[in-house]
Chain A
Amino acid sequence: MSAAPSLYTLPFGDISSADHARVGGKCASLGEMTQAGVAVPPGFAVTTDAYQAMLDHHGLRAEIERHLASIGSDDIDAIDRAAQAIRVRIRSHRMPDEVESAIRGAYAAMGEGMPVAVRSSATAEDMPDASFAGQQDTYLWVIGADDVVEKVRDCWASLFTTRAVAYREKNRIAHIDVLMSVGVQKMVNARAAGVAMTLEPTTGDRTRIVIDASWGLGETVVSGVVTPDNFTVEKVLEAIVARKISDKHVELVGDAALGSAVEREVDAARRSAPCLSDAEVLEVARLAKRLERQNKCPQDVEWAIDADLPEGRNLLALQSRPETVWSRKPKEKPAAYATGLMSIVGTLNNPIASRK
């Protein structure tokens, strides 16, 4: 079903740890999950070699550097002009033949006419920074090899959005060092989807898993278009300890005829109904817990429930990345823990239930 790995494309199942630098964080994580047996929609990574081949083939490096040579990080107009020019340049060139045929081959192996999501997977030292990761593009419900090739190129171009360029200028990241891999992944027909964090994001409480979920594709949750249902699960006991069911007025669903994902109104009956059953909430929590254990740090997991898959096997992981806010905070620790009998004396003098 999947094409052979090549210099330019790597099926998720073939991504080894040696490849991480050339497939970017997102695809590396999909590769790891696939190989660990986590249910992930199948697909392949377009490696950074493909991007570099593109730059090399058309002499784009020099062009990019020329455009960016004279801008300062404060001059937003100049950045905007330069960024736009670079994007136009990238989009106006065809891919090198060997790159394009590798992508077409890998896509064909997934099944001709397969709807896919095309997502950028950037590589840079600061990739774990979520605010940066969110700056590249994602294209949903892409159908046909021509469109896939075009969206891969659009992803490369998205390395040079005004925001991305300004961010790198400000943080003194060399533009040309940041490479772009692209993930091409079978589109999920999401009945419901969302995000799971393996800690409570407001307090950093690691005994909790917090799930945001809404109807349709998870992009509505990530972008904040809807107020999602919110579930809190006790991580160890695997029990739901809190739930807030919200009015989820829109959903993003695939439209095969249109070849894109479309936003539509959610009918009245479903709007305020929980989009996950309790059993599904616990399934999502277990998936997130498993990914946290696998990656040895708190995770931020995107997941979806695929309407086309049978119950029990319909929960898919779309992405798992390290949680960045709390993981970077130094932990507060008491000066010393009381131990032994003196600790018992302390407990009797000040029982926990009376502490505030």
Chain B
Amino acid sequence: MDAKTPVFPSPYDVKPPKGAEDWEGIYPYYLKFQPSRRPIEDRKFWFCDSQHWPMPFRPFDCIMVDFAAKCLGQYNTRHLLVPPANGVDYRILNGYVYFSPIAVEPSEIEARVPQFLERAGHYFGNWNDLLANWKKKVLGAIDELEAIGFKELPDVVDIEAVKSGKGLDDTYDLFNAYDDAIRLCYKIWQYHFEFLNLGYAAYLDFFGFVKGQFPSIPDQAIAKMVQGVDSELFRPDDELKKLSKLAIELGVADALKTGSVDEALAAVAKLPNGAKWIAAWDGAKHPWFNFTSGNGFYSTDKYWIDHLDIPLSYIRDYVSRLESGDDIMRPTARLIAERDRITAEYREMMDEEAKAVFDQKLGLSRVVFPYVEDHNFYIEHWAIGVFWRKMRQLSALLAKLGFWREDDGMFFLTRNEVRDVLWDYSAAWGVGAELRGTDYWPGEVARRRAIVDALAAQPPLPALNNPPEVITEPFTIMLWGITSEAVKRWTGADDGDGGLQGMAGSPGIVEGVARVLRSPDQLSELKKGEILVTPVTAPSWAPVFGKIAAAVTDIGGMMSHAAIVCREYGLPAVTGTGNASSKIKTGMRLRVDGNTGSVHILG
């Protein structure tokens, strides 16, 4: 290999797609590869995180990667002093985010160990108490977020504010509301990582021990030993299944089958048992319909609670499956028995000394792992869902005032530009003059929207610059499943026989027809028995797993959502193929081998 040619291109040599030439102007300066920093940035290896951000950012949506990357880092770097690892640095290139882990200088690792032992030790030693407190903190932040509202400024300050000597106007509250929303979102992201890195570290330790005992053990077998069966992440889907069963029991299923949500609910309400079902439906909404069809990282995410047609369509699907005699409930007793069987059988193959160590590590993993799964419901689905709802309200309000034409215009501004707009509004209101932004933003928003659309037409590169000889950074491996092997796969030429290699996410082999989905809006296109091929799946896609024959993703490892759910449903899954969703076209026949992690295009 020519020493001067990097394995992956330099970010400075990657051209934007047509129509997106001015993309850099829509993002804050610190998110971009600055020309003057080329020598520094080119020394680093950057990998694209299309697992979490498969689509280009609208400028406002950068808030999620800002907070996520910073808060992940702070726990490693400042709270826990994870010996070898600081955070992951991040940049945006052509609309997609690239990460680069920051290792700790080898000479400093030793000195961090005692601090890590004390700090991490406190968390591991008091896990359940701290976690109970965590739940309280998060629910408190959600309540605060829910209380936030955005109202059009009144013509005159309320008389009560005058008489009470408040001395402050409504713009003061408007700014507070906006700043509170951002602050609470920031708070929630800090909480998100409070336990996560430790949870993964304990799991990885268990994982490494079992691999040491059985070098050939499939990763999925280790995952199965610690995986939760009653994770709260499964609750929203379970609620829909219960509602479907109840609809049949109460004789309201037929009324649910047609029309809009309002029409269907009205039809149910007219029936003798209708009120009972509607009470159950309303009861399930809070909190379980705080569930996104994406991953919570985009302002475009659709949450069930705001789009009741999504859960209703799943219920309709479940009802028809129940009527045709399917058993749709998750077989939790069988799953627990299977988990225990697998654990016992591997344990039986160890010597006595190893068994004791295994028990200890498994015990810790099972204590910490529920957080790894459950946090996702509390943060990404529930709390972030409320945040987006509030932001959409504000965007719609500002649209009504004429700042942009469409209700979602605000998301084409960065979060700090939104403050400028609020100032524009406040100043104009205070002065009694016209808004200035109404002449500037509609055009600018349209221009930026066109750029983001143009960026979406070009998929991201898997990585930039030269990878390290061996990837040793623990969080890169744990959170993104990026290993030396994965990087090799990205660089490897096609094997020429229509084959794709990924991770063996869930065992089994099937052949079937591919359905390539690039967005959750396309979920309704899926037909029973098809093989789902997609960049990445989200927990709220759970209902479709009852329909498909297998899943293939571009991104993700053993603990990715698709792998977890496929193991639950007993479907083969191959994850982390890199580019299956662009190489495979809907209608192609595939052979998916979840035992070896290979996908073959048969024709």
Contacts and interface: CB of A to CB of B under 8 A. Distances in A.
B207 A237 contact: no
B478 A351 contact: yes
A338 to B, nearest CB: 8
Interface stretch (B216-224, B491-499, B546-554): B216-224
A236 B345 contact: yes
A240 interface: yes
Contacts of B82: 348
A206 to B, nearest CB: 5
B214 A351 contact: no
A351 B477 contact: yes
Contact of B208 (A200, A235, A342, A347): A347
Contacts of A354: 470-472, 477, 483-484
Nearest to B220: A237
A205 B217 CA distance: 10
A331 B120 contact: no
B216 A337 contact: no
Contacts of B345: 235-236
Nearest to A355: B208
B221 A343 contact: no
Contacts of A343: 205, 209, 361
B85 interface: yes
Chain A interface, >50% SS class: mixed
Nearest to B120: A341
Interface string B120-135: 1100100000000000
Interface in A180-225: 200, 203, 205-208
Interface in B464-519: 470-474, 477-478, 483-485, 507-509
A240 to B, nearest CB: 6
Contacts of A331: 351
A240 B572 CA distance: 12
A205 B120 contact: no
B595 interface: yes
Contacts of B34: none
Interface in B197-223: 201-202, 204-205, 207-209, 211-212, 214-218, 220-221
Interface in B303-351: 341-342, 345-346, 349, 351
Interface in A302-356: 331, 333-334, 337, 339-356
Chain B interface, >50% SS class: helix
Given A205-B214, A241-B218, A353-B471, A344 B205 contact: yes
Contact of B360 (A207, A208, A339): A339
Contacts of B509: 240, 278
How big is chain B's contact interface, by range?
35 or more
B65 interface: no
A14 interface: no
Contacts of B595: 234, 239-241
A355 B349 CA distance: 23
A354 B82 CA distance: 17
Interface in B432-473: 470-473
Contacts of B596: 241-242
Nearest to A334: B212
Given A237-B221, A241-B218, A242-B596, A351 B204 contact: yes
B428 interface: no
B473 to A, nearest CB: 8
Contact of A337 (B113, B354, B470, B484): B354
The 4 closest A-B pairs by CB, nearest first: A352-B208, A347-B205, A239-B507, A353-B483
27 contacts: A200-B216, A205-B215, A207-B346, A207-B349, A234-B217, A234-B218, A234-B595, A237-B221, A237-B342, A239-B507, A240-B509, A241-B218, A241-B595, A334-B212, A337-B209, A339-B357, A341-B120, A342-B117, A343-B205, A344-B201, A345-B113, A346-B205, A347-B474, A351-B478, A352-B204, A352-B207, A356-B470
Interface of A: 200, 203, 205-208, 234-237, 239-242, 278, 331, 333-334, 337, 339-356
Interface of B: 82-85, 109, 113, 116-117, 120-121, 124, 201-202, 204-205, 207-209, 211-212, 214-218, 220-221, 341-342, 345-346, 349, 351, 353-354, 357, 360-361, 470-474, 477-478, 483-485, 507-509, 595-596
